[in-house]
Structure formats: structure tokens, C-alpha cells
Structure 1
């Protein structure tokens, strides 16, 4: 009896898996393609009306007006796009996409390890290319992502992937490019179950800073050795911070902690630093600018940070930092299900003082510069990867956003996803029409 139930369960599981299968990765580009007539949003602030963009073997050959397009490019496969918009593929920073599938199911989570100091943990080897969440991101313009672990003081190492691959080896764009540091927060939230309503002092705050300092000091001494008798995996992972080959991403929000964290790591000889979060970054923008540190702003769609913050402070923060002369990139949320709405965070920034093309740049060229992949992607320029998309309307506006085609390295993507499948399924049910997959 039990065996029969097991077989029944396996059969149901297989049938559901087949019904909602993640689309297979697209084959390599075979024929040259030219997209004609669209408005080209280059990703560096420039726009080309009535444009044309051609690419072959995964690389961009031409970007410019349709009128000036070389005659020989007319022989390529033509994609008519008059009235539509072409954008570089959006780059999602600081996400654990592919490391979690269902938030309420612990076995589907693979974004953190036990302990507080785990810089040797490599997120890339846990990255799941078959996640059902990945296609929903692709169909909204997100084509590249920085896969980042979570938890503890040093959660691990991030890598950059493109979102159309059979496995993590095929997905890699840049391997183990950065170490992440979660700077401790000086306060902890109220224990509501004990009737508390106010935050209280974090008694582990100073101790955690001492752990960070000691870890980096040991890593610096380890990196200075010409040879070691026994490899220390934790310190080995941190070596790149002292020769500039890896970036240190500091997750920090409070103004005082921004200053304190930067001063500490700079004194210890860390070369490349990126600040993540920076909710109070506008208060210390001059300090950030003087140290030439890029910032990744998260959760544009969030409540104000602190009682004295203005009601629109989260919306306006990217604009304030850009006005201060800081290189700013935009991430989305700490919530995996909302990452596909990345474009709309930039749209909100544009609604609060930033030029539309400048806001787009927060998701394209600026993010590419922060990751060190600007020579490969981030803008529509000759010689770069043909990682781009076509939208029926304004990509940054949820009323006009409708991605109808997308390419990664010239490969024509299947933009189907579980959301679309469920829409077709129930649309057919209530319209009494046969289901077409």
C-alpha cells in the first residue's frame, strides 16, 4: 500500500514538472540579426531615434540610425521594431536568485552557511540554473545577475552570471569577483512578544567589529607571505582584497557606520570598496565621494529609514548620490520574488528628479562598471556582447513595460515562464477554449 502511494506521488511530481518546465537555454547565434526602426536606449545616457542595431556571433556590429546603416548589414536577418524600444539587458546586483526557490521551504534555500566568518563560501557552485524564478526575471528585462550569499559577517563570495544557461559553469560571466561584508547594526529591533516597542542597543556590535578587524588583519598578514605551509581557506579567499583583484562589498546603512567601515578597511589596505544599502548615504555623500567609492542603492520602493527622514527619501536617494558625483548602481530588494521589478525602481528614481536615461544607466552601464564588466556589457556599443532586449513601450514604466524579445550574447531567448503558463491555463479555463502551450 505504501509503495503504491510512493509511485503515485512520483507520478504526480513528474507530471507537474513536465507541465511547468523551465525553458531550455537558447542555442548559439547562427545568423546575423539587425533590429530596425526602434528607439535605441544606449545605456550611457544617449538615445538614437529611428535606429538600427546589428549583431553577429554574439557581438554587436553596428549601433546608429537606420539611415546611416551600412548597406551590407541589410542582408542580415531583419527584426522590424518600429515604435518599439531597444535596451541593454538589465544587470541585477546583490541577489540570491538561483540560491532560493521557495522562501517557506528550508530545503530550497542555499544562500547561507553556519557561522559568521565564511569568505571562502562560493555562491556560484550553488547557483541553480533551473530555478523557476529566473525566467520571470528574464521576461522583465533582467538578463545578468550578481549572485551573492547571505548571513553572518562575511557571508562569502559573489559571482556574475548571465541568465540563460544549462549549468553554472556555462552561466559564469565573472567568477568570484567580490567578498561581502555585513557591517553590524548598532541597534536591534524590539521584541514584540515581550511587549517592547522600541529598538535597543546591540550588545554584540563592538565585538562584531573587532571580529571584522581581526579577520582582515590576519588576511593581510597571510596575503603578505610569499609561501604558506598550510592553506587557510578563509584567509586565502580574502587575499584578493589586498592586491585589488577582488572587491569588498560592505552592506551598511547608518551614516556613522559608513564612515567607520570605510576608514577601517582602508587603513588595513583593502583596495576596492563598494558600499551596499547606504540608506543614510546622502548625509555623508561628500565623504563617499572623497574616497571614490561606488554605491549600490537597494529597495527604492521602501519606507523612509529613520523617524527624521522625509517621506520620499528612499525614492530620492539615488538622485542625491548621483548629484554628489558618486558612481551609483541600483539593486532591488532583499525579497527574491520581487527582483523581477528591478526596472520599476529606476522608474521611481526618474520620477523623483533624475533624467529617464540617467535612471536607466543605474541598471546598465553603472552596474557593469561596479562589477568590472563594462567592456563586455552594460551598453549598446560596437564590440560588446549582444545582450539586449526589445520592449513594446517604456521599460521603466510598469504601464508600458512589455518585453517582447531578448537576447543574451546574441542568443534568442524563450521568454516563457511559469506566470505566463498559469495565465494561459486559467484564461483557457474561463474562456472555455482549448489550452495551447
Structure 2
């Protein structure tokens, strides 16, 4: 079949494979530079866009081109399509009279809608991109707030600097996501220049090795997902030299193709005791504790439990656990404190030689429990709330009953805290008595 526009410019046959169209565009782009041949580049871009649009119905177009005009008319007549008679009338549309149209349509009550093979492709044109020079940090200060010195959200250059820091506990994708979030929140008048700054910095990190090869695909896929760069690569060409733009476009294309099992994004971590909690119930349970609510929201957002240290939990785990309704932990810590006090008594050690060794084991377990309480007490509270509501859910409790139970759980238990203090004092008293 003879090639026609836009396939002649792309130098490929008509196809419905949009990936093949983009590859052809990339090949032609290497010999059609916007700075050397602006008109040719503009024609190439328009051909790429027209081909992508036409690819949606390229199969029916080929059938229409392969069929002769006479065959097409006969097929339409056999289907009793009244519009087919219009196609059989000689001359152009401007030469046809109203009488010709009426005679062709006959008694047809209305003209049917156009078929798919009669659709018209509207070609859109765009101004040729202008390659801009790199912007200095002081030129982009207006993009994102007054900066950290002003007490508001960080500037773009500060977020980009964060991506260059060595932070083993943070993924580069998370750091770049902060940059992408900031770009998405910019006014339209500032977005394009700010995106150019981010793209140039990303390219520099890739070429310098600051962004490791195993981290590059995830970051590149994310920026393409957010800003659709592969389908609108003029955004890249507008801000870079042609050779740099080619490099980044190739990197984006490679990252888009790397979606096999080995490169698939990791599944989000399951959070036992949190994923099954209704945020409304958590809000009711901890209505007077904004830090607890912020902890829950952060755990859901980051799919991990942040640390939350408490000195009281470390020094006095028994009354602390009772106060926050950590029932099982509180009872276990209370038993350990009492047993430890008994085993440490001199009279017990004299009667039972093995008491010294057991005392050391119990003390180590007690310290582990105290550390766990001190560093994970907020996580343990969420798990305890989930455990508290689970039987009610299994019994089919109403929403109102669940809300009441959550509210009651969130209130600190001062009575049991007093019991915990009493248990600690009793352990000290036992040790003194047994001496």
C-alpha cells in the first residue's frame, strides 16, 4: 500500500502500535534538530501527533484505502445505506444541487450518523519550542514559598538538594516524590520553568551517578506518570540542549519498558492492627490526642510505623501500660517485676542456688519489655484498639456501638494505672521482706 501522510514523514507503514510510532519519531528526531531545522522539526511533531490520533482507527482506514470507490459504493448500497447514493453522484459536493440530494435520499426520514471510516482527523499545530538557558537558584525562588527561613514550605532548590543527600533510611523515589508534589502544586504560570529546573537537575544526577542505576527506573517512571513527558516531549526539548534531551527521552523510554516481575514496584507493607481500623473509630478513640492521630495518619501514608519514644514507658512500664490499656503487656510486665523481686532476695538465693541465674534471665526479659514499651507504645495502642474492637465486629455490633467502644478505649485508665503503681510498690516490699 502506498504510504500517505503522516506515515511518510515518520518513514513507517500505517500502524495501530503507538509504541512503534514513538520509536519512529525518536529515530527521525535524531536527524531533525529543532535548532537546525525548525520547520522540519515542526512537521515531524505534527506528524507524530497525527499518527498517534489516527492509530485508533488505522485498521478501518486501510480497508477503505484498499477498497475501490466502486466497491465501496456497492457495499454501502447492499447495506441499504442512503448516504451511499450520495457517493455515486458525480462531481464535487459544491456542484451537487438540493434536487440531487433529495433524489439520492428518496424517502429516507433522516441521514444516519457518519461511519467510522468517514471520520475526519483534525491536525493540531503547535509553536516550535524555544530552548531556554539554565536558571540560577535565585531565579526560581518565587516558585515554591519563601523557603525554610520563612517558616513555610521549602523552596524547589531545597527539595532538590535533599535528593542529593546520602540518606540510607529514605528511598530516592520518596525524595523525588516531594519535588513532584511541589511542582504539581505550582500555579500554571510558574510550572513550566520550575519543571525545567527539576528536569535538568534529574539529568545531572543520572549522568553524574548521584542517582544510582537501580533507583533510576522508579524515579523516571514516576515523573513520566505525573507529567506525561513521553507523550509531550516538547517540555523536555524546551529546556535542554538536543543531545541532553535525547539522552533523557531514551532513559524515560527504557524505564517505561522495564516493568517485568523483577522491576515491578514492591507491594505495600501490611500493617497488622492498623489496616483493619476505621479512621473514624481511631479519630473517636484519640479525639483529645492530636499526636496520636498524626501518628496513625503517618503510618497509613508511609506504610510503616514511626518511632515514638516515651521515658515513662522505659522507667515505669507496668503503670504506663495499664494507663494506656495495653492489657496483656501490662500483666506480663507486672509478673516479671514481681518474679524479679522475689528471685533477687538473698533468702531465696540461699535456698535455691539456681535463683541467681533465673533472676538474670527475668531481668533481661523485663528490660526488653521496657524498651519495647518505650519505643512502640503508640503502635501498641493502635494494635490494642484493633484487638478491642475485633470481638464486637465479629458479633455484628452496630456502628454506634463501635463508636462508643472506641471512645471508651481512648480514655486513659487511671484506676488500672494506680493498680500498676501498687504492683511496683508490692514488688519492692517483697524484696525488702525477703531479705
**Larger helix proportion of the pair:** 2
TM-score between both structures, scaled by the size of structure 2: 0.23
**Larger strand proportion of the pair:** 1
Larger Rg: 2
TM-score between both structures, scaled by the size of structure 1: 0.23
Q: Which has the higher contact order (CA 8 A, sep 6+)?
A: 1
